[in-house]
Amino acid sequence: MNMQYKNLGRSGLKVSQLSYGAWVSFGNQLDVKEAKSLLQCCRDHGVNFFDNAEVYANGRAEEIMGQAIRELGWKRSDIVVSTKIFWGGSGPNDKGLSRKHILEGTKASLKRLDMDYVDVIYCHRYVGFLFFFSFLVN
């Protein structure tokens, strides 16, 4: 069976119907060596969409995923990487969905992943239309 790909909303991105997320595995149970094996198995079966979050293993999951992808030598443009922002840390501005935390949390995630960009950033909580409108306008 071949992997099927679908459009991710109206973004223009084509993502595999299955993705791999690092929630309970990277950092808590698996190191880089094991992560590389898992990620390569996913790619071998057509997965191109890999998910993470700033809070997974206190950021260690992003570090492991980024290092594994680098060591595997994958072309960045061949994969879709997402992360989620909300639970960044213990400081008063280190969590939530303020403009400040979205920008700083994204920069911190990019540093941990050792990537120039992520393809999708999710808010790790529900946010209504008005918040996004306000964020985009300001």
Q: H helices of the chain, where?
A: 32-44, 60-72, 99-113, 129-137
122 is catalytic: no
Query: How far, in Å, CA of 44 to CA of 65, rounded?
Result: 17
* 26, 27, 28, 30: CA torsion to nearest 10: 60
Q: Out of 56, 117, 122, 126, which one is annotated catalytic? A: 56
CA distances from 128 to 54, 81, 106, 124 (A): 21, 24, 20, 13
Would you please indicate which residues are annotated as catalytic (active-site) residues? 56
